[in-house]
Structure 1
Amino acid sequence: MLSSRLFWKIFSVTTAITLISAGVVIWILAFRQSEIIHSMIDERLQNSATLLTDQMESAFREPPSSEIQQQLKSLQQETGTRITLIDANGYVLGDSAEDYEAMDLHNNREEVREAMNRGIGFSERYSDTLNKSLRYVSQRVGPAGKPLGVVRVSLPVDRVDGQVTSFQKVIWLTATICSLISLFFTYIMVGRILKPLQEITEAAEAITSGKLRQEVDITSRDELGLLGATFNAMSRNSAARFEELQLKSRELAENSERLAAVLGSMVEGVFAIDSERKIIFANRAAQKLLPLPTTDVTGRIYLELIRIPQIQELVNTVLTGYCQTSLEFKLNQSQATVAAFGTPLPGETAPGVLIVLHDISELRQLENMRTEFFSNVSHELKTPLAAIQAYAETLLNGALNDPEHNTVFLNNILQHTERLHDLILDMMQISRIESSTDVFEIHEVHLEQSINTCLTALAPQAEAKNVELKFDCNTANPLVLADAEGLRTIFENLIDNAIKYSPQNGTVTVRSYQNNSPDGNEVTVEVTDTGPGIPMEYQARVFERFYRVDKARSRELGGTGLGLSIVKHLSQVFGASLELESKINKGSTFRVTFPVVIDDQQY
């Protein structure tokens, strides 16, 4: 009990109230008793002065004498007070304590003036004659019109104060004893009241530490007993509910783990935000896509981590409108295109937002490629058809009978027809390759023979442009697994492009060499030109269909724009890798690497 802070609080307050109340009572009693004693002293002095007025009236009519002095001294011994006779002019006629002849005029004394005016006067002051404080009462002798003088009776103040102090000591002693008795009973009563509360506190602390079903033994029939019974019932109910909550918590945890595993394995990013804009869940896909920190972000304000205006707009729309909504945006950092779907979490007023993120970059890229493909096909088909139509209309309008121009127009029609035919063949070939409907006869093919065949076929085109063809062969005619026609198509397209983009008096070099790789022997064929080169930002797209770095120059040189795309797809079919190395004004090198099957020298 002594260690209880509540006990000492209540006991301290009670003690303070008791002591303050006792002090106030003592002060009131002492003050009142002092007034009573002073009033009694004044009344006693006044009675003495009244009696002496009748006895001493004759002394004011006669001159001072020793008999009067002796009489005053006798009266002082009887009454215990000092008696002084003062005439109307302030002269002392007699004094029971001092020699009246040596005393000063007393007409300026307060009690004397007041008695002369009002009949009686009171005063308390220091006496220069006796060198002590006295209490004076003066009574006028004679009528107010012709007073004979005053009789003054006085008593030392220290005697009065002694009586007051003596009585105050009794009061203080009585109050102290009563206060101690009150504090003792207060100590006992506070202890009895707080003991059940301490039991309840200890039981509550035990419940807090995990020891359920705590009960207290309080048998009193007052409010504390009712509190104890209520606590016991609450403890039993709380223990039963806690066990039930534990069971439900385990079930909820298992369901949450399963849900987290499902959401975590999803390709789509999923994260949820509550009504206070705090993140309550985010799976790995969402953390990677947005991106979010790899640490736990639960409980953090999403605006601190996700500074994407579209996401903010989506969250505000769902929370304010309580409706599903979606939007599409591109991330600045990764340049990924994301489709976001927001839906309110279940509840009367939307308690939060569930957002699902789909990375549709590849889909949008495919759509763009399809759109661009159809646009390019339409343009590539339209150009030769428009030329053929123009030449045919010119011939029909009279140029057919013009021997100087009709042959030229017919040759141009034939040239555009051949270009249109080549374009259609290339489109059909790349379509078959991509759809895997083109059946290739994969067998061992001599690499050097295919290269020589292509060089021989394209030699006239190089000579016409005065471009030198070189073949730097550093292999022993290796064998590769490929379709012979498809292999020639690869080299024809690469060498044809090199000739077209090399300037007059330029050089096209075909080089083959064998190298060792971790997966086995490989052979690499490089086709290098001395053309203008390809800027770095365009090198990743040169293998796309109909893509041209310089469209005007490419159409001027001829070709369908599908050659390098066909090379890429055929290389993938034959298990070869394709690389590009190019520098501005220094030419380009296309590098194709095939796995080697067998070398002729091994026969």
Structure 2
Amino acid sequence: MSFRRVPWRLLLLPVIGGLVGLLVAAWLRQAENRRWFLQQDSEVTQEANLLSRTLASSPDRQQWLDFGQGLRTMNWGEVEILDDSTLSDRVRQSLVVTPTLRIAEPNDCYRISVRQPIKDPSASAPNEWMFYSRRVRKPNLPWLWRAVLLGSLGLAGGSALLAGLWQSSQSTIKLKDTLQSIRFRVKRPVPRSEFLAMFPQILNTDLVGRELIALCDQLHQNAFTNLSGSGTSDAILSAMPEGILAFSSELRLQFANRAAVQLLNLGTRIQDNIPLIELIRQPKLLELVQDVQSRNQSLDCELDTTDAADQSVWLRIRGYCISADTKPVASRSSPLGKKNDSSDSVSPPTATVLLVISDETRVKQLENYRKDFTANVSHELKTPLSAIKAYAETLLMGALDDPDARYRFVTSIGEQANKLEQLIRGVMQLSRIQSMPEKLSLSPLTLAEIVGSVVREHQTVAEANQITIDNQLANAPDQTNWIVLAEFDALRTILGNLLSNAIRYSKCGGQVTLKAESNNDRIELLVIDQGIGIPAQDLDRIFERFYTVDKARSRESGGTGLGLAIVKHLTIAIGGSIRVQSELGVGSTFRLSLQRPISVPL
């Protein structure tokens, strides 16, 4: 037996046994001392009574003194005679209350004194008092050896009890380990013969062991039957993308699939039979479950929360009431893994609650996108149409007769019509791009040629705004190294929108730079301007449709807010990526990352 594995409480048993033995030895010594003192007190008292009666029979006081001297000479004892008339009432009272005294002396000796009255039979009160004392020696009993013997017996008894309890605990631990091993091995259904062979043979020699094996066998057969019928159903429920939560009539959790744990972020709180109030923290969801059970009808609600990945999700939760009289379409075992036997219940049980949770985050986003798109398109169309209508009404009210006003208003109508046409074309182009396949057919393209073509198209606008375009790819020594994998029209549209934005938002006299950098198997095209810059809080939204940082400047320069949205969609369609770096008042850098053809060397 290894003492390192023995619990410290069991190790205290020998110590406790030894202490009990010592306490018993001490108690025995006290009992023997008490019995010896009582015996000596009794003997001295009897002797004092005999002496008192003897002295009382003689009226001669001198004979008393001679008798006491004789006893002292023979070392039998000492006798002292006191006259009652010389004693005070207090001393006389003390003689009556404590007639016997013990005085310890050296060498384990004690002097026992007894006070007795010498009373004349004819007198009503004693005239004399006798003090009789005798010195006795206490026998030296072997209490030390007795303490050692009893302590050793207690220690041995505690050690024997420790060994017995340790062996019993080891047997219990072995049985626990065996049952635990069997429990882990039968997580999947196994045949009955294989299951019974898992138990050690030693259990069959004990009545309790045989009953335990029979009980486990019965439970295993029941579980085997249930798992055979419900395994497929449970697997389907667990794999469903919709979350499922089932609560008992006492509103305790009976079943939860992986989707429900993920969507409601229940990972740290999920456990069997946990109460609803401890599992669900959202008041809206708690109220839904309680209303479904109390009203006995199906209800639903929407919930905005965060999932296990700390992502914001929009959930639609439908609650269904499952009463005792609900008839299944096909008979099968309960997906909750538990059956409630209510045949012994007089009153019908309260209905259970089933929650079905669907993630409608994407649907909500699309709905918001549609609303925002409709509102933005309506607003952007309303501005030029309102201007055209105002100019036309002004002309009809008499401005046609003024040549200068007529020319100015007609010119403004033409400009607003151009903006309206540009906006409609942008919306149609974005709609066409969104209806395109997710991935376009790609082919190797020379980046320098496409960039040069786009620069020539925008050169006139740049010169009108006194902006210089620095195309560093045109002066590259070996332009065959700058070949990308893309779709021709998509890449021209992307570069055109990026260059158009850089010119539109650059300061007068500024410069727009286009250059390329090699990054392993990709080529990055940089469009750098010295414009007004983009605030940091707007960088994450500039690729949204109709989003503009400075709406007044955008309308003044003819921007529609669709250019960068088109750029983002087309970049994803050709397998690229785009990101932006900007500093307010300094300028912006758009970095377009494109794939290289595999056959082109780095």
For normalisation by structure 1, the TM-score amounts to 0.56
Change (3 A) 1:296 1:388: closer
Instruction: Note the residue ranges of structure 2 that are not aligned, 5 or more in a row.
Output: 1-119, 123-204, 325-347
Partner of 2:298: 324
The 5 Å alignment of 1:335-354 reads 335-347=312-324, 348-354=348-354
Partner of 2:228: 254
Partner of 2:497: 493
Segment of structure 1 superposing worse, 483-492 or 283-292: 483-492
Change (3 A) 1:211 1:292: closer
1:436-477, CA deviations, whole angstroms, 9 ceiling, x for partnerless residues?
A: 289988544321122122222222322333333222335625
8 Å Cα contact 1:476-1:601 kept in structure 2:
no
The 5 Å alignment of 1:182-261 reads 205=208, 208-211=211-214, 247-261=221-235
1 CA distance for matches of 2:430 and 2:357?
35
8 Å Cα contact 1:465-1:504 kept in structure 2:
yes
1 CA distance for matches of 2:295 and 2:445?
68
Kindly state the Cα deviation for residue 314 of structure 1 after the two structures are TM-superposed: 0.8
The answer to whether residue 468 in structure 2 is matched with residue 465 in structure 1 is no
1 CA distance for matches of 2:424 and 2:372?
17
2 CA distance for matches of 1:353 and 1:281?
11
8 Å Cα contact 2:546-2:560 kept in structure 1:
yes
Partner of 1:299: 273
1:336 match: secondary structure: strand
1:1-60, CA deviations, whole angstroms, 9 ceiling, x for partnerless residues?
A: xxxxxxxxxxxxxxxxxxxxxxxxxxxxxxxxxxxxxxxxxxxxxxxxxxxxxxxxxxxx
Compare relative contact order (CA 8 Å, sep 6+) and give the higher one, 1 or 2: 2
Change (3 A) 1:275 1:582: farther
Partner of 2:483: 479
1:257 match: secondary structure: helix
Partner of 2:117: none
Segment of structure 1 superposing worse, 477-486 or 431-440: 431-440
Change (3 A) 1:404 1:512: same
RMSD of the TM alignment (CA)?
3.3
1 CA distance for matches of 2:385 and 2:358?
43
Number of corresponding residues: 373
Letter in 2 for 1:345: I
Letter in 2 for 1:551: K
Segment of structure 1 superposing worse, 482-491 or 472-481: 472-481
1 CA distance for matches of 2:448 and 2:428?
28
Letter in 1 for 2:588: S
Partner of 1:528: 528
Kindly state the Cα deviation for residue 210 of structure 1 after the two structures are TM-superposed: 3.4
- 2:519 pairs with 515, 525, 540, which one? 515
1:531 match: secondary structure: coil
1 CA distance for matches of 2:571 and 2:241?
31
Kindly state the Cα deviation for residue 317 of structure 1 after the two structures are TM-superposed: 0.5
The answer to whether residue 451 in structure 2 is matched with residue 451 in structure 1 is yes
The answer to whether residue 477 in structure 2 is matched with residue 503 in structure 1 is no
Q: Which has the larger radius of gyration?
A: 1
1 CA distance for matches of 2:515 and 2:266?
49
Change (3 A) 1:512 1:246: closer
Partner of 1:266: 240
Kindly state the Cα deviation for residue 415 of structure 1 after the two structures are TM-superposed: 0.9
Partner of 1:389: 389
Partner of 2:434: 434
Kindly state the Cα deviation for residue 207 of structure 1 after the two structures are TM-superposed: 6.6
Partner of 1:310: 284
Kindly state the Cα deviation for residue 246 of structure 1 after the two structures are TM-superposed: 5.7
Letter in 2 for 1:417: A
1:159-202, CA deviations, whole angstroms, 9 ceiling, x for partnerless residues?
A: xxxxxxxxxxxxxxxxxxxxxxxxxxxxxxxxxxxxxxxxxxx9
1:549 match: secondary structure: coil
Partner of 1:405: 405
Segment of structure 1 superposing worse, 464-473 or 281-290: 464-473
2 CA distance for matches of 1:288 and 1:440?
35
1:195-244, CA deviations, whole angstroms, 9 ceiling, x for partnerless residues?
A: xxxxxxx99856742348xxxxxxxxxxxxxxxxxxxxxxxxxx9xx95x
The 5 Å alignment of 1:160-199 reads none
Partner of 1:189: none
1:585 match: secondary structure: coil
Kindly state the Cα deviation for residue 516 of structure 1 after the two structures are TM-superposed: 1.1
Partner of 1:217: none
2:530 match: secondary structure: coil
Partner of 2:179: none
Kindly state the Cα deviation for residue 601 of structure 1 after the two structures are TM-superposed: 10
Partner of 1:376: 376
Instruction: Note the residue ranges of structure 1 that are not aligned, 5 or more in a row.
Output: 1-127, 131-201, 213-238
2 CA distance for matches of 1:296 and 1:600?
54
2:365 match: secondary structure: helix
1:328 match: secondary structure: strand
Kindly state the Cα deviation for residue 528 of structure 1 after the two structures are TM-superposed: 1.6
8 Å Cα contact 2:249-2:349 kept in structure 1:
no
8 Å Cα contact 2:467-2:512 kept in structure 1:
yes
Change (3 A) 1:593 1:206: closer
Kindly state the Cα deviation for residue 598 of structure 1 after the two structures are TM-superposed: 8.3
For normalisation by structure 2, the TM-score amounts to 0.56
- 1:286 pairs with 260, 263, 270, which one? 260
